[in-house]
A and B are shown apart, each in its own frame.
Chain A
Amino acid sequence: MRLSLLKTLCLVLGLLSTGAAYSAEASTAKQVVETFQTELIDVMKQGKSLGYAGRYQKLYEAVTKSHDLNKIVRIVVGKEWEKLTETQQQTLIDTFSKFSVASYAHNFKEYAGESFVFDSEEQTARGGIVIHARLKIPDEKDVKFDYMLKEKGDSWQIINVIANGVSDLALKQTEYSNILQQQGFDALIAKINEKIDNYSKL
């Protein structure tokens, strides 16, 4: 992540609208990640003026286009997926998508000179790609970000983000499948909605 193609990309892509950035045909895995990172930094820079609602709106398309949220949800709930009705599956995907965007909108609200830099790219045994990147924070130790992507159609989408060795997907997998098994579907949705609600108020 230290070979900072990103800073240049930030400047170039920052001039484009979100729609234009995504209107390109097939995107490589690296392009998908870098476009998303650029949009995140952009939202952070405008964080205060946009407010939570503005950040949510701007990030909704960025997150849903770059992440394969359907696949993520299926992995997260594991074998419980088949036990859900179609309506429940759709509700879970919608709620999870809102939660993901809300989390970004809440947490990426300020800018203090942070930047993402690309390190390397590697193929995984199962046909995926991992983009190794780092987040540079002034006066802090760099944070390693590894994005795992799978091919979807003619493009690539993120299915997991691993920060300093901690997998977001694995964390959610443990939490969600446990709650589904122990407390049921309605409790899981209620808990996620409560978190979304809190994010909008904090």
Chain B
Amino acid sequence: MAHFKSASHTLKAMAGVLFMLTGCASTGVVHQQGEKNKSDPYEHINRKIYTFNDHVDNYIAEPIANVYRKITPQFMQTGVFNFYNNLKNVNVVFNDVLQGKFEQSAKDTGRLAINSSLGLLGIVDVAKRVGLEQNDEDFDQTLAVWGVPTGPYLVLPFLGPITARGIPGAVFDTAANPSSYVGAPVQLLSLLNTRANAEGSLKFIDEAALDPYLFTRESFLQWRYSLATDGLSLKKR
């Protein structure tokens, strides 16, 4: 199953967790700057930070996440994921409204209410079983809907890929997420669980990419664009 998930061409990779982290575990990539890409004017420095993040991941994040995965039963990992995912829905509802998606915001509010109560504070994703799928909305997408341009692609130390527009988006989303206010140990657990869940995606990139930096950049930008346009970008291809 894990293999299949990774098979689906960056499925989970595009699901978000991947790009919140350090990039990927590349193997002997030749770091060269190609023909200047309009969306990546700082490729030279971005590649250096990417390599740095890669080392941080290889030597620190991955070993810790591996231990976490080994000692934590799958149901607990799922529960931790569901818990934080449920808190994120506060943010999703906010952004639904800011984007004028009122019907979706009602559904997402229902999702949050059901999982926070029947789902034992979000640990169990009850809402999914009654047909309320998780939506993915954030302030970067809201800014896109409001017409703010993407800006250049950036790789931030420790945090990974983002765009210039994504920075204020991330600040707003962090402020609007209740888990930001519960203390460092809880956030650390969230980060650990996120990294552990991203293992399959990172492995997929490592196996498939001829140049992991470019692979990550292109898939990140496409994935963000697809989210911002709710998948309508396909029609332009």
Chain A contacts to B: CB under 8 angstroms: 44, 103-104, 106-112, 114, 124, 130, 135, 137, 140-141, 143-146, 148, 160-168, 170-171, 174-179, 181-183, 188, 191-192, 195, 198-199, 202
Residues of chain B from 190 to 237 with CB closer than 8 A to chain A in the complex: 204, 207-211, 214-215, 217-219, 222-223, 225-227, 231, 233-234, 237
Contact A161 B9 (CB under 8 A): yes
Asked if B14 is at the interface (CB within 8 A of a chain A CB), the reply is yes
Which one, B28-36, B64-72, B114-122, is touching chain A? B28-36
A144 touches B210 (CB 8 A): no
Restricting to B1-34, which residues have a CB under 8 Å from any CB of A?
A: 1, 3-11, 14-15, 30, 32-34
B9 in contact with A165 (CB, 8 Å)? no
- B222-A167 in contact (CB<8A): yes
Cβ B3 vs Cβ A110 within 8 A: yes
Q: What are the residues of chain B within 8 A of A202 when measuring CB–CB? A: 207
Residues of B within 8 A of A (CB): 1, 3-11, 14-15, 30, 32-35, 37, 133-134, 204, 207-211, 214-215, 217-219, 222-223, 225-227, 231, 233-234, 237
Give the residues in chain A near B32, CB-CB below 8 Å.
Answer: 182-183
Q: Cβ of A166 and Cβ of B4 under 8 Å apart?
A: no
| C-alpha spacing A198/B234, complex, angstroms | 32
- For residue A198, which residue of chain B has the nearest CB? B207
Considering the complex, give the chain A residue whose CB is closest to the CB of B134: A141
A107 engages B4 (CB within 8 Å):
yes
Report which of A111, A164, A177, A181 forms a contact with B10, defined as CB distance below 8 A: A164
Query: Shortest CB–CB separation between residue A108 and chain B, in angstroms?
Result: 5
Cα distance, A111 to B234, chains bound together (Å): 29
Q: Are B34 and A106 in contact (CB under 8 A)?
A: no
Kindly state the separation between the CA atoms of A111 and B11 in the bound complex, as whole angstroms. Answer: 16
Asked if A108 and B231 sit within 8 Å, CB to CB, the answer is no
In the assembled complex, the CB of A177 is this many whole angstroms from the nearest CB of chain B, namely: 8
Measured between alpha carbons, how far is A114 from B3 in the docked complex, in Å?
A: 12
A165, B34: Cβ atoms closer than 8 Å: no
Given A178-B211, A195-B207, A44-B4 contact (CB < 8 Å)? yes
| Candidates B35, B37, B223; contact of A166 at CB < 8 Å | B223
User: Can you report 13 A-B residue pairs in the complex whose CB atoms are below 8 A from each other?
Assistant: A107-B3, A110-B4, A124-B237, A137-B1, A144-B231, A161-B9, A162-B234, A164-B15, A164-B223, A168-B9, A175-B211, A176-B210, A177-B34
Chain B hits for A183, CB < 8 A: 30, 32
Distance from A34 Cβ to chain B, minimum over Cβ atoms (Å):
17
> With a CB–CB cut-off of 8 A, which chain B residues contact A179?
210-211
How far is it, in angstroms, between the C-alpha of A171 and the C-alpha of B219 when the chains are bound? Answer: 7
Q: Taking CB as reference atom, which chain A residue is nearest B229?
A: A165
Which single member of A137, A146, A191 contacts B210 (CB below 8 Å)? A191
| Cβ–Cβ contact A165 & B231, under 8 A | yes
CA distance A165 to B237 in the complex (A): 11
Contact present for A174 and B218 (CB under 8 Å): yes
B212: nearest residue on chain A (CB-CB)? A175
A99 to chain B, nearest CB (A): 9
Whether B34 contacts A164 by the Cβ 8 Å rule is no
List, in ascending order, chain A residues with CB within 8 A of B226's CB.
164-166
> In this complex, which of B11, B133, B210 has the most chain A Cβ atoms within 10 angstroms of its Cβ?
B210
**Which residues of the partner chain A approach B14 to less than 8 Å between Cβ atoms?**
163-166
Q: Once bound together, how far apart are the Cα atoms of A106 and B9, in whole Å?
A: 12
Knowing A146-B234, A148-B237, the reply to whether A178 touches B11 (Cβ < 8 A) is no
CA–CA, A181 and B222, complex, Å: 23
Question: Which residues from chain A contact B9 at a C-beta distance below 8 Å?
Answer: 161, 163, 166, 168
Q: Which A residues are in CB contact (< 8 Å) with B4?
A: 44, 107-112, 114, 137
